[in-house]
Amino acid sequence: MLVQGARVADFERRLAERCGREHAVACGSGTAALELALGALGVNAGEVLCPDLSWPSPAHAIVRCGARPTLVDIDALSWNATAEAMAAARTDDTRAAVVIDQFGMPAEHDRITAALDGLPVVVDAACSLGATIAGAPAPAGGRIACLSFHPRKLITTGEGGACVTNDSDLAEELRILRNHGQGGPGAFVTPGGNQRMTEIQAALGLAQLDRLDAILERRRHLGERYRQALRGFGLQEPREGVASNWQTFGVTLPKTAGPEARDALVRALRANGVEAGRLSYALHRLGSLAGRFSGGPFPVAEHVEDRGLALPLHPGLDDEDQDRVLRAFDRATRALGIEP
């Protein structure tokens, strides 16, 4: 039994518990989880709200299920979309909302859900396993939350993802959709695809779940050290009561530095053995979404895309290595005339 056997069931049980949910439905990737979630909610037309700053998966998932993303600018402090911005972007044609916990920083799920007054909310928790809001797991938000287990996330199964929900009917629909549309063996009730997880992935995921608390502790320690050292630069700020897992640690340069300065800084860091990279994407600028979205303007997402970089942060990074990163950052910003 190499696919969707006892280990997958065990991984789902432990994951649901960790996320404070009744059900977890494991699948092949975080992107697959988003497509399954929108499918299970019956979204196949109309508009779906989606923050503008992100890896493209949520907006691509919306287009692929037959709807149009209404992109929403992000907040300058949290780099997440706010309840006010989401509510303002809603139209009569809006069918659902995707709320992203950007870089592992939980968005205001409850306020957004309340502001959208009955609209189904999918939390893209691809990055936020282990993050909390008032002590509760971030993936406990929304009708369905979607997780990713890509190697850059808190825990990995190689590729992998999951939907978590408290709604038994939705969980059943998700299970049907991931398994060729089968309601039972050979009972094909809808034209579903194949988004199953393998036993090999689940075995890896179970071992990784055992390490999640240690991984979180290390990430939080490193995140706090970066925050202290980089005061003055643009940093993602947690709201009251929110604890990020620092899945990605981003920093933005001041407005006086443009994208060229950011790129030069990334090159200088890499030349010194520091694996920095550009931070994220303003989705309205992607060729894949040209003519396919509504919304705007997006000044904050553009600022973060143009001036943001990600610094190395992983549980294997020791304090000494992090100090080397910070020294290289300090040297390179001075050499390029970039001041906080």
Ligand X SMILES: Cc1ncc(COP(=O)(O)O)c(C=O)c1O
**For binding to ligand X (CB under 6 A), which residues are involved?**
29-31, 54-55, 57-58, 100, 124, 126-127, 148, 150, 161
User: Cβ closer to ligand X: 62 or 276?
Assistant: 62
User: Cβ closer to ligand X: 98 or 116?
Assistant: 98
Residue 38 burial (C-beta neighbours within 10 Å; 0-12, 13-18, 19+): buried
User: Cβ closer to ligand X: 150 or 225?
Assistant: 150
Smallest distance from the beta carbon of 323 to ligand X, in angstroms? 28
Q: Which two tokens stand for residue 129?
A: 């396993």
Smallest distance from the beta carbon of 128 to ligand X, in angstroms? 9
Nearest to 196 by CA among 17, 23, 32: 32
Amino acid at 191: P
Whats the size of the chain, residue-wise? 340
Smallest distance from the beta carbon of 30 to ligand X, in angstroms? 3
Nearest to 127 by CA among 190, 222, 241, 219: 219
User: Cβ closer to ligand X: 148 or 208?
Assistant: 148
Q: How many Cβ atoms sit within 10 Å of the Cβ of residue 117?
A: 8
User: Cβ closer to ligand X: 58 or 295?
Assistant: 58
DSSP string spanning 11-56?
A: HHHHHHHHHT-SEEEEES-HHHHHHHHHHHTT--SSEEEEESBS-S
Smallest distance from the beta carbon of 58 to ligand X, in angstroms? 6
3-state secondary structure of 65: coil
Smallest distance from the beta carbon of 52 to ligand X, in angstroms? 12
Smallest distance from the beta carbon of 139 to ligand X, in angstroms? 12
User: Cβ closer to ligand X: 129 or 332?
Assistant: 129
Residue of closest CB approach to ligand X: 30
Residue 234 burial (C-beta neighbours within 10 Å; 0-12, 13-18, 19+): buried
